[in-house]
C-alpha cells in the first residue's frame, strides 16, 4: 500500500484531533483577526438605532434551542446590550418551547451589567405560547389575547411599559433569532399581513436560504452565523455601548482556523484520491 493510499485510509480520529486543536489553540492564544462589517449586519444595527429610546419597543423572537446557542446567543446578548445601553425598550417572545429558556438565560447573562433596567418598565418577557403561525397572527390583533401575562405571571395590563402596546402597530422593529424556518413565518404573517418591519439572526448554515427575503426587503437586514454576531459586537463596541467580553469575536478566530484545517483536509483528500487512482492504473497496466 502506497503513501497516498495510507492517507486515504487515515483513521478519522486523527481528523477529530486536528479539528480539536484548530478550535482549542485560538482560544488559548487569540489571533485577533480583523472583522469587517457587511451590509446586512449594518442594516440591522441601523434599524435598531431607529427604534426611539423609551418609545415603541424592539421585539426579539428567541426561536432557537441550545443546539444553535453558540451562534445565536451572542446575537441575543449584543442586541440586549445595544437596547439596554441606549434606553431602548425590549419585548422578548418565544415560539419555540426551549426558546423561552434561552431568552431567560440571555436576560440573566446581560441584566447584571444594567442594574437600572427593570422588568415591566424597560423590558417585557412574554414567554412561550404553542402554535407559531397562530400566535404571530394573534399578536397582530391584540398581544394580550395570546399573552395575558408575562413569563413571570404578571398581567400585561399592570406593566407600565405595555400601557400603549397592543399589536404590531406599537412595535418599532422585530428581530427573530432562529436556526429554523420560523423567521419565514414572521415574514409571511407579521410582515406581509401587518407590515411589521422584520430582521433575522440565523445560523451560518441557514443564512443562504434568507437571501431572497433580504433582497426584496422583507427582511431589513440579517445577522448570519457567528460572523454576523461578531460584526454586530464590533458595531456596538465602536459606538461605546458596551465593554462586555465579545464572545462571537473570540469564536471567529477558532472558526477561521477550523475552516482552514477543513480546506487543508479536502485538498489532501483529493490529492490522495487522484494519486492512488493513478497508482492503481499503473499497477493494472504493468500486471496486464
Retrieve residue 188's grid coordinates. Answer: 409571511
How far apart are the C-alpha atoms of 56 and 48, rounded to whole Å? Answer: 11
Retrieve residue 173's grid coordinates. Answer: 422593529
Nearer Cβ to another protein, position 159 or 262? 262
Nearer Cβ to another protein, position 242 or 249? 249
Q: Is 11 helix (H, G, I), strand (E, B) or coil?
A: coil
What is the nearest approach in angstroms of another protein to the Cβ of residue 45? 17
Nearer Cβ to another protein, position 58 or 95? 95
How far apart are the C-alpha atoms of 102 and 221, rounded to whole Å? Answer: 22
What is the nearest approach in angstroms of another protein to the Cβ of residue 56? 23
What is the nearest approach in angstroms of another protein to the Cβ of residue 284? 19
User: Across the chain, where does the E strand assignment appear?
Assistant: 58-63, 90-94, 123-128, 173-178, 198-202, 222-224
What is the nearest approach in angstroms of another protein to the Cβ of residue 52? 28
Q: In the chain, what is the greatest distance between 2 CA atoms, to the nearest angstrom?
A: 89
Retrieve residue 85's grid coordinates. Answer: 445601553
Binding residues for another protein, rule: CB under 8 A, are: 10, 12, 15-16, 18-20, 23, 33-36, 38, 65-70, 98, 100-102, 104-105, 108, 125, 127, 129-131, 133-135, 137-138, 141, 145-146, 151-153, 204, 207-209, 211-212, 215, 225, 227, 252-253, 255-263, 265-266, 268-270, 273
What is the nearest approach in angstroms of another protein to the Cβ of residue 31? 8
Nearer Cβ to another protein, position 25 or 105? 105
Nearer Cβ to another protein, position 172 or 223? 223
Q: Judging by DSSP bridges, how do beta strands 173-178 and 198-202 pair with one another?
A: parallel
Q: What is the DSSP letter of 162?
A: G
Amino acid at each position: 500500500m502506497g503513501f497516498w493510499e495510507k492517507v486515504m485510509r487515515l483513521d478519522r480520529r486523527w481528523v477529530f484531533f486536528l479539528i480539536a486543536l484548530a478550535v482549542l489553540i485560538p482560544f488559548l492564544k487569540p489571533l485577533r483577526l480583523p472583522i469587517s462589517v457587511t451590509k446586512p449586519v449594518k442594516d440591522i444595527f441601523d434599524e435598531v438605532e431607529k427604534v426611539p429610546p423609551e418609545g415603541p419597543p424592539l421585539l426579539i423572537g428567541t426561536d432557537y434551542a441550545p443546539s444553535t446557542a453558540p451562534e445565536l446567543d451572542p446575537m441575543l446578548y449584543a442586541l440586549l446590550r445595544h437596547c439596554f445601553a441606549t434606553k431602548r425598550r425590549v419585548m422578548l417572545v418565544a415560539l419555540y418551547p426551549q426558546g423561552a429558556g434561552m431568552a431567560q438565560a440571555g436576560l440573566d447573562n446581560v441584566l447584571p451589567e444594567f442594574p437600572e433596567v427593570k422588568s415591566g418598565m424597560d423590558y417585557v418577557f412574554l414567554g412561550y405560547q404553542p402554535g407559531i403561525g397562530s400566535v404571530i397572527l394573534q399578536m397582530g390583533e391584540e398581544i394580550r389575547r395570546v399573552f395575558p401575562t408575562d413569563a413571570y405571571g404578571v398581567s400585561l395590563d399592570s406593566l407600565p411599559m405595555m400601557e400603549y402596546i397592543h399589536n404590531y402597530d406599537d412595535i418599532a422593529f422585530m428581530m427573530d433569532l432562529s436556526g429554523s424556518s420560523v423567521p419565514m413565518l414572521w415574514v409571511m404573517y407579521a410582515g406581509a399581513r401587518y407590515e411589521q418591519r422584520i430582521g433575522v439572526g440565523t445560523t451560518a448554515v441557514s443564512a443562504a436560504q434568507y437571501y431572497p427575503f433580504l433582497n426584496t426587503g422583507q427582511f431589513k437586514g440579517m445577522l448570519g452565523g457567528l460572523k454576523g454576531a461578531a460584526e454586530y459586537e464590533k458595531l456596538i463596541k465602536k459606538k461605546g455601548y458596551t465593554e462586555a467580553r465579545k464572545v462571537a469575536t473570540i469564536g471567529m478566530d477558532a472558526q477561521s482556523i477550523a475552516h482552514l484545517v477543513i480546506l487543508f483536509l479536502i485538498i489532501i483528500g483529493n490529492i490522495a484520491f487522484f494519486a492512488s487512482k493513478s497508482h492503481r492504473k499503473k499497477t493494472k497496466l504493468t500486471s496486464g
